[in-house]
Amino acid sequence: MQFAEAEQLARARSLTILDAAFHVFIRTLPDELKTKLPQKNLGLDYRTLDRTVAKGGDIKYIDFRKDWSPHFKRLCIMPDGRLVERGGLEEFAQLHGVTSAQAKTLVEQGGTLEVNGEILACQIVNGQPAVARFSAKNYIKAKELAATMGLHVMDALSEVGYNDPAMMRGLVRKELASGR
């Protein structure tokens, strides 16, 4: 969506696509981040940084995806089809009733985690975690599908999710709302 906005802006103002993308990116950032970007070290205190980071000089870039920063919201498909938007790891862990360490491992490495008979699944797609929580019934279906078709359990969960009308309704609503 941001790329399409950048293309429109580039055409409308005769900008390069890079300049337009920069303007779109900055415009969509929360105010807190907008004020930190021009500051030395992005407003971070050298005394609180890891020594190897502090030795590197002025910090110009932080990959917020790695820590699920609260500034960048993520969507999780729930078994009933709701799309739940969550930010930081703590918020994500609380939503699903798991520890912060479990949540961190899941979103950094992908995989599955059983939670109260349900399964929380995370695939890393283009460096981004894609998260869905499946009911116990759908998890059983996925395990059966994996066994009979020789699929990886993550592929089987995806297949079950795509065939579950409740889970797909949330995604369809999201697609329609975003105008795609």
> pLDDT tens digit string along 54-102?
555 666 555 544 444 444 566 677 777 777 776 678 888 888 899 989 9
Q: What is the structure's pLDDT at 162?
A: 81
86, β-bridge pairs: 74
Query: Rounded CA gap, 142 and 69, in Å?
Result: 31
Phi, psi of 122 (to 5 degrees): -140, 125
Count of domains observed in the chain = 2
In this structure, the answer to whether residues 83 and 172 fall within a common structural domain is yes
Dump the DSSP string for 17-56: HHHHHHHHHHHHS-HHHHHHTTSGGGG--GGGS-HHHHHT
Domain of residue 35, residue span? 2-62
- Residue ending a domain, among 62, 80, 110, is 62
In this structure, the answer to whether residues 80 and 137 fall within a common structural domain is yes
- Residue ending a domain, among 40, 62, 84, is 62
pTM for the whole structure: 0.53
> pLDDT tens digit string along 107-142?
888 889 999 888 888 887 766 777 888 888 989 999
